[in-house]
A = this chain, B = another copy of it.
């Protein structure tokens, strides 16, 4: 930790709090240095749509181009027509499951190749950059600084586990086993005498939001975080849990208050939702609030 650490962060209270945490972590046993990050809205842009939804819609368009009858399925009609009322009525879970059906039978590397192609070539609808440029430079820098301080860094996301795994090493330096997300079940089949793992259309366990994030960390990682970063009500339990560590700890909330460089909104969460202000909650809860507008010198690595 020196003057060059977190150069994408503006000098000030937020950066100082993070630097102090990094320094104090030297007193924590190495195996207890565990940091968890939400993904959408915390490590990369989630507006106007989750990147995964944009990917699913692009794949749906390809599928409809091959078989027009698919358009008639109510979930697909709602998504393709951007019918907000129908989307609200059908619900995120039903829509997600319908979209996940597009990939049933794929092997893991086939699915990962599709995701990688999309993230590295398709462009964000309003910002114009390819999705792989929509990682927040200050957060990528924070991941690196934590690893330099011997932290294990993990991603705990409401998004699809395999979707995030497909790009986590490239974008975040986090290997596949470090991603805890909403799981699609895979099953072992015999294909022409060759044991093969393929995607099903079933969700395995719960959507990874709220308390499920803390339980998912225990189940998949078996270690307790002393640092957690998030941006919505779906990250509340994970941040509060990190703060129960009896030693150096930090809960970091990314606050989207930068309409000029990104978007301005109060983070909600896809499943766990509240109409209240997440920043108000964060202040009451002892979280550190990172203002995108005030605390970040740069937002995206390209700007």
Within residues 194 to 245 of chain A, which ones have a CB less than 8 A from any CB in chain B? Answer: 194-197, 204-205, 211, 214-215, 218-224, 237, 240-241, 244
Identical copies of this chain, number: 2
Give every chain B residue within 8 A of A244 (Cβ-Cβ).
Answer: 194-196
* B175 adjacent to A188 (CB under 8 Å): no
- Are A215 and B237 in contact, CB atoms less than 8 angstroms apart? no
CA distance A218 to B106 in the complex (A): 13
Instruction: Name A107's closest neighbour in chain B (CB-CB).
Output: B224
A179 sits at the interface (CB 8 A) = yes
- Please determine whether A177 and B195 come into contact, CB atoms closer than 8 angstroms: no
Q: Which of A1-9, A61-69, A135-143, A161-169 contacts B (4 or more CB under 8 A)?
A: A161-169
A44 within 8 A of B: no
Contact B186 A221 (CB under 8 A): no
**In the bound complex, do residue B194 and residue A211 qualify as a contact, i.e. CB atoms below 8 Å apart?**
no
Complex Cα spacing A55 to B136, Å: 47
Query: Roughly how many angstroms separate A222 CA and B109 CA in the complex, as a whole number?
Result: 10
Asked if A158 is an interface residue, CB under 8 A from chain B, the answer is no
**A31 interfacial by beta-carbon distance below 8 Å:** yes
Q: How far is the CB of A150 from chain B (nearest CB, A)?
A: 12
Q: Give the CA-CA distance A219 to B205 in the complex, in Å.
A: 11
Beta-carbon contact of A186 and B218 below 8 Å: yes
CA gap between A152 and B108 in the complex, in Å: 18
Q: A195-B214, A244-B195 are in contact. Are A176 and B108 (CB under 8 A)?
A: no
A300 within 8 A of B: no
Q: Is A178 an interface residue (CB 8 A)?
A: yes
Tell me which residues across on chain B come within 8 A of A237, comparing CB atoms. Answer: 188, 195
CA distance A161 to B220 in the complex (A): 10
> Are B221 and A177 in contact, CB atoms less than 8 angstroms apart?
yes
